[in-house]
Structures are given as structure tokens and as C-alpha cells.
Amino acid sequence: MTNDTRLKILVVATEVVPFAKEGGVADVIGSLPKELAALGHDVRIFLPRYGTIDRAYWALRPTGVMRTLYMAGFDQTVSILQTTLPDSPVIVYLLDHEWFFGRHQRLYLGLDQHDELGSLHPV
């Protein structure tokens, strides 16, 4: 593949196997980027760093990038961590913010569950 045909692809997802999985989307996002990279494309993944994603186990490294984002009505400072998708060259970026993503239970809240801001979230 030449540089003219090589694509730069950023996949943004809420779940990726093997880091976080609730449904079938995680399986697709965990495998499709590997196949695209095998074709010669530059593929990267972006997802939240949930509390269940262990920093040491996945060798998460700080990128040094910190940004202030407007989320849920407030300016929030987030940092970006980095690792790779196992058995591939695919770089994985994880948005790190303990208050929003640090919970250790299910990724998605149920119909009767409220988040830290008191907002009701459907599944």
C-alpha cells in the first residue's frame, strides 16, 4: 500500500474488546481495526477509561495531553492515556476522568439508575 492509498482512521467507541464489553459492538471494534491495520492503514481507537480498565495490567501510559472539555454543564479537565490493542499495531487512546468514567460496575446505567449528576439514563 502506498502513502497515497493509506488511510488514517480514528474509531471512537464506548466499548472495545478486550478493555470493556457489554455487547456485540465491543467485539466489532476490537477486531475491525486489526484487520484495517493489516491492510496497511493507520488505525487508532478512542474510548473512555472506565474504572474496570486497570492502568497497570494494560500498561496505560500518559500522553501528556490534558484538555478542558465542556461536559454535563461544567468545564472538566481530562487526560488522555495510551496503549495498544493486543497483538496489533493499533494505538488505543483512553479518555481519563474518574468522576465521569471511574465506576466499576456496568458501563451503561439502567432505566432506573441515575448518574452522579442525578440524570436518568436509558439503556
In this prediction, residue 117 carries a pLDDT of 45
Contact 32, 46 (CB under 8 A): no
Sheet holding 42-48, edge to edge: 8-12, 42-48, 91-96, 74-84, 61-71
Which has the closest alpha carbon to 20: 123, 122, 101, 74?
101
This prediction has a pTM of 0.80
The pLDDT value recorded for residue 119 is 46
pLDDT given at position 118: 45
Task: Determine the Cα–Cα distance for residues 55 and 57; give it in Å rounded to an integer.
Answer: 6
Task: Assess contact for 109 and 96: CB atoms under 8 A.
Answer: no
Counting every residue written for the chain, the total comes to 123
pLDDT tens over the chain, length 123 residues: 677 789 999 999 999 999 988 888 899 999 999 999 999 999 999 999 988 899 999 999 999 999 998 877 889 899 999 999 999 999 999 999 877 676 655 555 554 544 544 443 433
CATH superfamily of 8-101: Glycogen Phosphorylase B; (3.40.50.2000)
Task: Return the pLDDT at 71.
Answer: 77
**Grid-cell match 500522553, residue found:** 63
- What is the per-residue pLDDT for 86? 96
Sequence spans of domains, the chain: 8-101
